[in-house]
Amino acid sequence: MTAFQKPVMGNQTPRLAYLPKYHSNAYEEAVDLCAAYGLHLDDWQATVLKAWLGEDAAGLWVSPINGLSVPRQNGKGAVLEARELFGAVILGERILHTAHLLKTSKDHFARMLKHVDPQVNPELAKLVKRISRVNGEEAIEFTNGGVIKFVARSKNSGRGFTADLLVCDEAQDMSDDDYAALQPTLYSVKNPQTILTGTPPIPSVDGTVFARYRDVALKGEADRFSWLEWSAETGDDYSDPTTWAKANPSLGIRGEVSTVHNEFLGMDDETFARERLGMWAGIGANSMFDMEHWDTLKSNVDPTDPVAFAIDVSPDLTIASIGMAGYVGDKVSYQVVANRKGTGWIVEALRKLQADWNPVAIVIDSYGPGASLLPDLRAARIRVVEVSSSQVVQSCMSFYNSVVNVRMMHADQPVLNAAIAGASKRPVGQGWAWNRKNPNTDITPLVAVTLAGHGLTSKRKPPSERRASDRRVLMLK
């Protein structure tokens, strides 16, 4: 029997669990209700439900906001079905279930319909007041006032709907704008709850909200917030079934070890680490940067004038970043100003930054993908500094040295941290530059701040050097 034929059971407890203490918990009632209607939960699913249904002494949720990160096809949808069924049928909650894709929302609607099918659960079906199957307005209403509405996220998501429970499935693909559009649905509710579920975001999507909540949990900064995560750890053997079990709770229940083995053989390491092992840093442990050292360089001090900006665009033009560099003392402080899909937003964003900051430079790689924007930038009278390939090499090597020698600081932003974690280099002449050829890593945040640093340091010296220069001038006089 090979290692991939031996029975392996997925871990039923999450590797990461950040949970507030609760006074009472309704999860047993919820589990019993679901079992009565044919929805039987695995131990790990019951654990998640317990985290979501904890109450304080006043009967309010101890976790108004909840995050769940678990690899695909493990049964996350069943936990959501259980929470929504209990909420609508027992609590009479108004529930807004959202997903990034319309298909995902419709699939969840179809699964919920099976629970209220008269042929499947006649007693439950009697509690249904109305079912709407109108495209884009799918909903199940119950006689007690409970309702579950299913929508795909957009700028108008949930408009006019008041929700007690907001579910954001596929949260790895939810922007700040998407999330902001949903917040008014909870505004007038006394005891609202939000649930975000998903997987580690891929570089080409905007997973800012999901990543931000994870960072808050890992830093221990959330008192009324839960985060549960099934994932492998840095240093785990990707080829070991025990590693697969750590990240996939349904392994041996619904998932087969042989199937994961085939995925391991067919995926590159970073994709496998993210998609099957639930690793947010992917193969960040193999980054050319020491991530623990990088973490020591974070700072919440914003730079002051002078500052420089730079832009970078992915080779396929699907995502772009604006980076900023400025001095804090004698160190250069780096921040990502924006990281968004497409390129149509860049000209107006730079026009406003130029007007507000009067930067010493706005840098662009004259041979990079962003050079396609040069005509539009010039037409908008944006003062762009074009850099050559040799200057790009110089800026990359300078940025790396500033990290190693602690001559910089950064704003601890998820998009920049992810780019650093996936950074690699490509040879250019006698030097090197950041490698753009990894499709699983968005390095535009890294390139943008790197070029911004070049623009700043080539135009302005650190304060101490400027003071020394002034003294020399005075002495000459």
**Residue 365 in contact with residue 312, Cβ under 8 Å?**
yes
Buried b or exposed e, range 169-197, using 16+ CB within 10 angstroms: bbbbbbbeebbebbeebbeeeeebbbbbb
Q: Could you read off the pLDDT tens digit of each residue along the chain, which spans 477 residues? A: 344 556 789 999 999 999 999 999 999 999 999 999 999 999 999 999 999 999 999 999 999 999 999 999 999 999 999 999 999 999 999 999 999 988 999 999 999 999 999 999 999 999 999 999 999 889 999 999 999 999 999 877 777 789 999 999 999 999 888 899 999 999 899 999 999 999 998 876 778 899 989 988 888 877 889 999 999 987 788 889 999 999 999 999 988 999 999 999 998 888 898 999 999 865 444 467 888 899 999 998 988 889 999 999 999 899 999 999 999 998 999 999 999 999 999 999 999 999 999 999 999 999 999 999 999 999 999 999 999 999 999 999 999 999 999 999 999 999 999 899 888 788 888 888 998 766 667 899 999 999 999 999 998 877 776 654 443 333 333
Are both 16-275 and 291-463 of the same fold?
Answer: no
pLDDT digits (tens, 9 = 90+) for 64-120: 999 999 999 999 999 999 999 999 999 999 999 999 988 999 999 999 999 999 999
Calpha distance 109→133 (Å, rounded) = 9
β-pair partners for 428: 431
Query: Tokens at residue 165, please?
Result: 């429970």
CATH 3.30.565.10 is right for the domain spanning 291-463:
no
Query: Tokens at residue 189, please?
Result: 């509710």
β-pair partners for 227: 18, 67
Task: Give the full edge-to-edge strand order of the sheet including 408-410.
Answer: 384-387, 361-365, 304-313, 319-328, 331-341, 408-410
**Residue 351 in contact with residue 382, Cβ under 8 Å?**
yes
- What's the topology of domain 16-275? Rossmann fold (3.40.50)
Taking the domains of the chain in order of start, what are their residue ranges?
16-275, 291-463
Calpha distance 55→153 (Å, rounded) = 29
